[in-house]
Amino acid sequence: MAEGSKSINLASLSLEQLAEVIKQLNTELEYLSSSYAQLGRAHVKFLGCLHSIKETVKAENEERDMLVPLTTSLYVPGKLKLGNRKVLIDIGTGYFVEKRAPDAIEYYQRKCEYLKNSIESISSAVEAKSSQIRAVQSVMQQKATEQSTKNASAST
């Protein structure tokens, strides 16, 4: 049932085999759902960074008082200097790069677009996987009904 594998005639499988297929599909669906959630959180984080840069580099913020984080719980007072219009951006796993504000904005816009496309792709994969699960459940229900009908007619 997975992409890259050949199609399986569901009607030819036993109830136990169908239950295994559903179990496998549910595992794949959980993985896709987890990936979808992680990408969504990353997208929100990058949108926040993009918004922060756009708001921070405005001319009216020159010499503005601010708190600079040294650790997660320790901040020191500082002043915002926008003379060179450079910002530090988080590129992942604790690495930061100094970029000019327009370049940083472009970087985060690119990241947001990439994540948006990835989220859409995973969303369609989740839909497809859910559809596959429903199809297998339908065949499983038909087989169970047929089996119970056979058992009822055999006992009479």
CA distance 2 to 29: 11
pLDDT of residue 7: 77
pLDDT of residue 10: 84
Question: Minimum mean pLDDT among 19-23, 44-48, 87-91, 113-117: which range?
Answer: 87-91
Could you report the per-residue pLDDT of 61-81, keeping only the tens digit for each? 888 898 988 888 999 999 888
The DSSP result for 49-107, as a single string, is: HHHHHHHHTSGGGTT-EEEEESSSS-EEEEE---SS-EEEEEEETTEEEEEEHHHHHHH
Could you report the per-residue pLDDT of 33-61, keeping only the tens digit for each? 999 999 999 999 999 999 989 988 887 88
Q: Which of 26, 40, 49, 33 is nearest to 109 (CA)?
A: 49
- Residue ranges of domains in the chain, CATH in brackets: 41-128 (1.10.287.370)
pTM: 0.76
